[in-house]
Amino acid sequence: MLLNLSYLRYPLPPDVQRLFEAGDLARMERVIALRLADPRTPECLKDRLRFQLEIARALPASYPLTQAAALRELQAAVRDFSEDELEALRDDGTLDWRYLSGEVRFKDNCVSNLLKTRPAYAARALNPEVRAGAARRSKALDAMIAKMKAQGGVRARFEVHEQMTVKSDRLTPGETLRIHLPLPVVGAQVTRAALLSSSHPAAFIAPEDEPHRTAYFELPYEPGMTVSADIAYEIDARYVEPKPEAVCAEQPAFDTQEQEPHVVFTPYLRALAKEIIGEETNPLLKARRIYDFITTQAVYRFMPPYLTVTNIPEYFLSGQRGDCGVQAITFITLCRLCGIPARWQAGLYTTPESTGNHDWARFYVAPYGWLFADCSFGGSAYRAGNTERWNFYFGNLEPWRLPLCSDFQQELNPPKRFLRRDPYDNQNGEIESLHRALDDDEYETDSCILRYEEL
């Protein structure tokens, strides 16, 4: 079932918009309350205003750092970091910020963002593991890509532990919690998957091809409770080198439609797509031009919660800053706008030693079928001068993936009663009581690799 969030395309009242951009969220909430109580306010606009209240609730936790606090954190992590550098990085868009309560606030992960995206600053990191870890991961990735090319692909089996720990002081012991723990989606590169064990009996396990697949639990709350599962899956990562001259004249038209509020063909996106594609007609080369634009013209930057952004591709393509999911849904939108079938895939990046959230895209070109595009990994390879890796991620993925979502903006099964922590993706799971959704600070998630073997 598609989540209907189309009202995010509706305009905000001008005074609400001004208060939001100025960061005067308390006054904005008062004005919204007046509009919601006003019988003259259209019901469709009320939906938009209610969601704006959710956006306002999510923002302060994402931007907690005053300028002084951000400077202290950066100086503690980067050798000889100066306030002038902070100002320059704010102006060039490397460090994300916004106004809250009349002052500039920086994103909570500004230090890790800088060290991840700017090699010159990573070289100045006071923690030597920042440099050593990046070099080690890069070497392992290049070795895996070389192996895939030599063998035509790699098959692997993973066992992964995932857990959600409730740490709320705002729940009553014994009240019912509805918990969704992500499971692998079988299909595409995942050939089989199994729930090996769980800390509690699952009330429902979604079908293997569910777009946002989960194990669902209904449990009485206990302070400090942890719900966990061990899962296994096998993945078949094949290597392909698609050739433009082999592309079929006839191409399918599925997965080329709009999907509000983000996958929409706005005037700006239409103009930019025309600029990127030019006179090219070959769908493989059109997709490559889109990939090249995103990976060479944009810069990776950590994002606030996606529910705070009302049009992700326009956000990215106007500021040319965004994370892996922003780049993936932008690639998908531009491909669809140009008649190329494209879909979302997301989950965890699972190397033999670590896990982390990650999103990427798939696109379809006959006769090759579904191919992969990881603009985030491709962009970092391009900035590092690694042309081989940059080319690899147009068409291919390594086997170090745990796909938990096969489509964007899909409902959970069974559906949540309240707004999801992430309405578009499901990498970490969701928890709610019978009365409300739990806030981000009321639970935490974690995962780790138990076993990895190549088959």
- Alpha-carbon distance of 63 to 169, in angstroms, equals 23
Mean pLDDT of 38-51: 95
255-279: b (≥16 Cβ within 10 Å) or e: bbeebebbbbbbeebeebbeebbee
- Say whether the peptide bond before residue 352 is cis (omega within 30 degrees of 0): no
pLDDT surpasses 80 at 1: no
pLDDT-based confidence at 200, cuts 50/70/90? very high
**pLDDT score for 293:** 97
Q: Cβ distance 391 to 296 under 8 Å? A: no
Do the Cβ atoms of 28 and 16 come closer than 8 Å?
A: yes
- What does the pLDDT average to over 56-82? 95
Query: Is residue 127 scored above 80 in pLDDT?
Result: yes
pLDDT at 135 over 90: no
The pLDDT score that the predictor gives to residue 230 is 98
- Supply the mean pLDDT for the chain: 95
pLDDT value for 132: 82
Q: At what angle do helices 43-62 and 25-37 cross, to 10 degrees?
A: 160
- The CA-based angle 62-68-70, given to 5 degrees, is 40
**Tell me: the pLDDT tens digits for 327-338?**
999 999 999 999
Instruction: Look at residue 102 in the predicted model and tell me its pLDDT.
Output: 87
What digits encode the pLDDT tens for the residues 393-422?
A: 999 999 999 999 999 999 999 999 999 989
Q: What is the DSSP string of 308-327?
A: G-S-HHHHHHHH-EE-HHHH
Average pLDDT on 360-366 reads: 98
Residue in the structure block whose two tokens are 């690694």: 386
- 3-class DSSP assignment, residue 394: strand
User: Can the peptide bond before residue 367 be classed as cis, meaning omega within 30 degrees of 0?
Assistant: yes
pLDDT of residue 2: 58
What are the residues whose beta carbons fall under 8 Å from the beta carbon of 268, sequence distance 6 or more? 314, 317, 318
Half-sphere exposure of 375 (CA within 13 A, CB side): 37
Least confident residue range of 1-10, 180-189, 256-265, 445-454: 1-10
pLDDT value for 427: 93
Share of the chain above pLDDT 70, in %: 99
In the chain, % of residues over pLDDT 90: 89
At 378, give phi and psi (nearest 5°): -65, -40
**Residues 114-137 as b or e (16 or more Cβ within 10 Å = b):** bbbbbeebbebbeeeebeeebeee
Whether residue 198 is predicted with pLDDT greater than 90 in this model: the reply is yes
Supply the pLDDT for residue 130.
Answer: 83
Exposed/middle/buried for residue 395 (C-beta within 10 Å: 0-12, 13-18, 19+): buried
Task: Tell me the mean pLDDT in the region 7-21.
Answer: 95
Give the integer Cα–Cα distance in Å for 311 and 297: 19
User: What pLDDT is attached to residue 133?
Assistant: 82
Dihedral of alpha carbons 418, 422, 424, 426, sign: negative
SS3 350: strand
**How confident is the model at residue 183, as a pLDDT?**
98
The secondary structure of 125-168 as a DSSP string is: BSSHHHHHHHHHHHHHHHHHHHHHHHHTEEEEEEEEEEEEEE--
- C-alpha to C-alpha distance for 148 and 190, rounded to whole angstroms: 16
User: Comparing 124-128, 131-135, 312-316, which segment has the lowest mean pLDDT?
Assistant: 131-135
Structure tokens at 369: 């079928």
118-122, 230-234, 432-436, 442-446: segment of lowest average pLDDT: 118-122
Q: Radius of gyration (Cα) for the chain, nearest Å?
A: 22
Give the end-to-end CA distance of the chain in Å, rounded to a whole number: 36
Give the phi and the psi of residue 130 in degrees, each rounded to 5: -60, -45
